[in-house]
Amino acid sequence: MNSINKLLEDLNKEQKEAVLSTEGPNLVVAGAGSGKTRVLTTRLAHIINEKKAWSSQILCVTFTNKAAKEMQKRVMNYVSNPSNSVPWLGTFHSISVKFLRRHAEALGFKSNFTILDTDDQKKLIRKIIKAEDLDAKKFSPQLIMYHIDKWKNKGLLPNNVKLEKSNFLEKSILKVYEIYQNKIKDLNACDFGDLILYCVKLFEEHQDIRKIYTKNFKYILVDEYQDTNFIQNKWLNLLVNENQNICCVGDDDQSIYSWRGAEIKNFLTFDKIYKNCKVFKLEQNYRSTKNILETASSLISNNTNRVGKNLWSSASQGELVKLNCYQSGKEEAQGVSDIIEHKLKKKYSLNNVSILVRAIYQTREFEERFLKVGIGYRVLGGTKFYERAEVKDAVCYLRIISQKYDDLALERIIGVPRRGIGESTLNQIFSFSSKYKLCLEDAIIRKLELNEFKPKIKNGLSQLINMIHKWREDSKKTKHYDLLKLVLDESGYSSMLKDKKDLENENKLENLKELLRAMQDYDNLQSFLEHVALATSIDQEWEGAKINLMTMHAAKGLEFDVVFLPGWEEGLFPHQKSLEEKGDLALEEERRLAYVGITRAKKEAYLSFAMKRAYHGDWMDALPSRFINEIPDNSVEKNEIEIERNMDEFEFNQDNSIEFDDEYRSPGYERFKKNKALKWKK
């Protein structure tokens, strides 16, 4: 008996049916932890082993290179002739490159075209912005790239984009897009978005080329189909032949990337596009305990735009999902830390413990706590809080205000925001500083006095030095956290981020708000800067296991023994901005995100919310997330946790302190208790 037969024997009934149904259009609705990858891999190996097609006649699309490599490796273990790899197994982009290398001339390119990276794109766009005399503050490369990428994901080249007449901003960006496309074509180059878009153009305009591939690909297999965008789905549909042997695998309940262009309707309408489609539902979960699964299933059942399935598990009932209520965000971090330290470390490796947050700035309070108690941690899919570029920029502004001889700080902020100060100017200042043994600030002042800079550079440097001197005076009479607000506003740093309306800059702004919140835990600027220095200099490469910190988005596809899901409060989760922009559609996606978060847990899950959060220096009552009301009472243990306050703990400054009365409960908390009439454990 060869390995593929053994593999088939080990599949459950639904998995086996999904593998063996090789003909016609198939949609495999694979719930969380239901063995999706196993089914896809086995199906691919089965087609090859049964000689239904040569490996070169199968198109298999994944979303990451890592997934493609893993699948290639597994298939080679299962097929009877492992010498033959699957040449058309890869990501949308890697396969598109193969198509375009072969047929570039049909689109007016040479086959050795260059693929531009992000830096190349930014440089080219900056040149266009300058040439078109556009306001660099209003039209940043990031903003323009965001719009270009959005249009390309929708399959729109410049001549296909339709705009409202009144939208001046997008009109200008569209003009840049047109110039940009012409320039990269002149360079015999493509960017990442072009790869799929040009393939679609190739297949639509050259039916003879398209026929080569529709005839060749007897079977098409697609992983993570719920994450496809418009142009990726069109690409797939153009490659399906008359036999329609396409099998798409995914989970509509885990569609959480609409902000990246993913369209859940591709998944939901698959059976309408392909009329004879067979739908297979993988509902047995092999990952989580019954209580975790019941909690997640009950929550996601509130969505209406879904295929629908009933996940079940043969695993034990397991521990109840814990729902913990804390008085503040700081106490939430302390409470989670205590649970890990006193309970979980004895049972699990820290490598199998994860904290999943809705917004990346939430990691700060947990990082602070872990540093304090010496628990090792890593931030997956992101950077540690005090190492984030915008946080380092803000701290460097404060450092140069505090200490004029901090050349490293001044060097970092001299060009942020842009002041027309390039590398050659910096080198002049460095040389002058070294020659006359001056700090950078004094070197700049001296060179300004000698009138040795060009007018534009002189103006930029004069403004910066004058602002630094003003801020030093301000620091004598202004609270340190108010000083940072002043610096961010007057330097133009805040407006630099606000003017570029994309997700990256929104996250940066949130991180800066969290930094302002963090500063209020310290009496003065000096003590805060000392804390930052110590936090960033501590050797964080602890030996042994580490807790995993990440966003829920970054956690998709991963699993852990224990998962903590903090910050389940209205406005934070579901996220208010998402709701404002997309309404009910966003609410359903936020709920899918909650489902993804809970189903990462294999053995234990902890949900939590705080009664109060600090926003911009003000304490605000928090209302528990509406998702909590959608969780079944019988699978959850509800705990009201009061943290013992240690005098050694750093506290808020006197002006901002809050007296916690044991009898006091926030309006949000009271509404929650009244609504649910819950019995809470103390």
Amino acid at 177: Y
Q: Which of 42, 90, 46 is nearest to 68 (CA)?
A: 90
In this structure, what DSSP letter does residue 322 have? E
Find out whether the peptide bond into 574 is cis, omega within 30 degrees of 0: yes
Query: Quick one: average pLDDT of 83-98?
Result: 89
Catalytic-labelled residue, pool 22, 37, 478, 536: 37
Indicate if 224 belongs to the active site: yes
pLDDT of amino acid 30: 95
The string of DSSP letters for 601-618 reads: EEEEEEEEEEEEEEETTE
For the ranges 33-37, 111-115, 409-413, 644-648, which has the lowest average pLDDT? 644-648
pLDDT at 249 over 90: yes
pLDDT at 259: 87
Mean pLDDT value of segment 508-514: 91
Exactly one of 223, 393, 406, 604 is catalytic; name it: 223
Mean pLDDT (the chain) is: 88
| pLDDT higher than threshold 80 for residue 587 | yes
Question: What's at 22, amino acid-wise?
Answer: T
Q: What percent of the chain has pLDDT over 90?
A: 65
Residues 6+ away with beta carbon under 8 Å from 428: 447, 452
pLDDT band of residue 137 (cuts 50, 70, 90) is: confident
- Tell me the per-residue pLDDT of 543-559, one tens digit each, with 9 for 90 and over: 678 999 999 999 999 99
Q: In the predicted model, is pLDDT for residue 131 greater than 80?
A: yes
pLDDT tens per residue, range 180-212: 999 999 999 999 999 999 999 999 999 999 999
Residues 6+ positions from 238 with CB-CB distance below 8 Å: 200, 203, 204, 210
Query: What pLDDT score was predicted for residue 537?
Result: 64
The verdict on whether 600 is a catalytic residue reads yes
What is the mean pLDDT of the segment spanning 110-122?
89
Q: How far apart are CA 339 and CA 319, in angstroms?
A: 15
Per-residue pLDDT, 661: 39
599 is catalytic: no
pLDDT at 83: 61
Tokens 């700060």 belong to: 364
Phi-psi label, residue 38: left if phi above 0, alpha if psi -120 to 50, beta otherwise: alpha
* CB contact burial 564-600 (16+ within 10 A = b; e otherwise): bbbbbbbbbbbbeebbeeeeeebbbbbbbbbbbbbbb
- Using DSSP, state whether 132 is helix, strand or coil: coil
Q: Is 37 a catalytic residue?
A: yes
Instruction: Give yes or no for residue 653 having a pLDDT over 60.
Output: no
Q: Give the per-residue pLDDT at 352.
A: 97
- The answer to whether residue 542 scores a pLDDT higher than 60 is no
Residues 542 and 521: their CA atoms lie apart, in Å, by: 26
Residue 142 bears catalytic tag:
no
pLDDT-derived band of residue 8, with 50, 70 and 90 as boundaries? Answer: confident
Catalytic site residue from 74, 152, 546, 600: 600
Tokens 């790869």 map to which residue? 195
d(CA 24, CA 219) in angstroms, rounded, equals: 9
SS (H, E, C) 541-595: CCCCCCEEEEEHHHHCCCCEEEEEECCCECEECCEHHHHHHHHHHHHHHHHHHHH
Q: pTM of the predicted model, to two decimals?
A: 0.84
Radius of gyration of the chain (CA): 28
Active site residue 223: yes
What confidence score (pLDDT) does residue 260 get? 85
pLDDT at position 455 = 87
Please tell me which residue in 224, 521, 589, 604 is annotated as part of the active site. 224
- The answer to whether residue 82 scores a pLDDT higher than 90 is no
- Looking at residue 103, its pLDDT comes to 96
Average pLDDT over residues 560-579: 94
- Of 69, 64, 13, 14, the C-alpha closest to 41 is 69
Quickly state the pLDDT bin for 527 (edges 50, 70, 90): confident
* pLDDT above 60 for 433: yes
Q: What's the pLDDT tens digit per position in 257-285?
A: 998 889 999 999 999 999 899 999 999 99
The amino acid sitting at 43 is: R
Residue 660, pLDDT > 50, answer no
662-669: Cβ within 8 A, 24+ apart: 665/611, 666/611, 666/612, 666/621, 666/622, 667/621, 667/623, 668/569, 668/570, 668/611, 668/621, 668/622, 668/623, 668/624, 669/325, 669/611, 669/621, 669/624
Quick one: how far is CA 557 from the chain centroid?
A: 13
Nearest CA among 567, 571, 570, 535 for reference residue 551 = 567
State residue 679's pLDDT score: 54
**Interval 483-509 mean pLDDT:** 86
Q: Check residue 538 and give its pLDDT.
A: 56
User: What CA–CA distance (Å, rounded) separates 203 from 209?
Assistant: 7
Check 62, 72, 254, 362 and give the catalytic one.
254
Tokens 């798409």 found at: 248
* Sheet strands side by side (includes 219-222): 89-91, 58-62, 219-222, 246-250, 26-30, 278-282
- Rounded distance, CA 607 to CA 368, Å? 20
Over residues 219-241, the mean pLDDT reads 96
What pLDDT, on a 0 to 100 scale, did the predictor assign at position 673? 53
d(CA 61, CA 59): 7
Q: What is the pLDDT of residue 353?
A: 97
In tens, the pLDDT along 307-322 reads: 989 899 999 999 999 9
Residue 618 tokens, joined: 């003000």
How many other CB atoms are found less than 10 A from the CB of residue 519?
A: 26
Check pLDDT > 90 for residue 650.
Answer: no
